[in-house]
Amino acid sequence: MTALRQVYVLNGPNLGRLGSREPDVYGATSYAGLVEECGRLGKELGFDVDVRETNDEGELIRWLHEAADGSIPVVINPGAFTHYSYGMRDAAAQRTAPLIEVHISNPYTREEFRHTSVIAAVASGTVAGFGIGSYRLALRALAEELGD
């Protein structure tokens, strides 16, 4: 049996509150539901998905360093850090494997400060606006990119 490829799905601030946080914006799926869905689809795609969430910017940066050091592909929803964390942008720029930025909502239909992503310029791509489906699309895009 072939070993599954390690993939990180990293989530920033407030994403652990999915299901209860502004369901009209972020949907009704809980964080546990997101973890389950990423794990299920990941296995189907040949991935061993490690889903993590933190409200701590430094921890998210350390995880990006860990991914870079191990050439581990990343799907990342930086949450509010998307718009201003240059430290996170610099950590993401050190990637040694594909990195896909994900957003549950479409930032461009929301407040103006959400229209800027400091991560996008160093990511392989961005998927936004499809609810939890954004993660599914990102994992599928990652599988395609790694398959090339």
The answer to whether 104 is annotated as binding is: yes
> Are 53 and 76 a contacting pair, CB within 8 Å?
no
Active-site residue, from 31, 65, 86, 103: 103
Please indicate whether residue 65 is annotated as part of the active site.
no
Q: What is the dihedral of CA 36, 82, 19, 8, to 10 degrees?
A: 10
Q: Is 136 annotated as a binding residue?
A: no
Q: Answer whether 118's CB lies under 8 Å from 83's CB.
A: yes
- Determine if residue 55 is labeled as part of a ligand binding site: no
Side-chain-side CA neighbours of 52 within 13 Å: the count stands at: 21
77 among the known binding-site residues?
yes
CB 53 within 8 A of CB 15: yes
Q: Is 83 annotated as a binding residue?
A: yes
65 is in an annotated binding site: no
Given the residues 26, 31, 84, 108, select the one marked as catalytic. Answer: 26
Annotated catalytic residue 103:
yes
List active site positions.
Answer: 26, 103
> Annotated binding residues, as ranges?
77, 83, 90, 104-105, 114
> Annotated binding residues for substrate, as ranges?
77, 83, 90, 104-105, 114
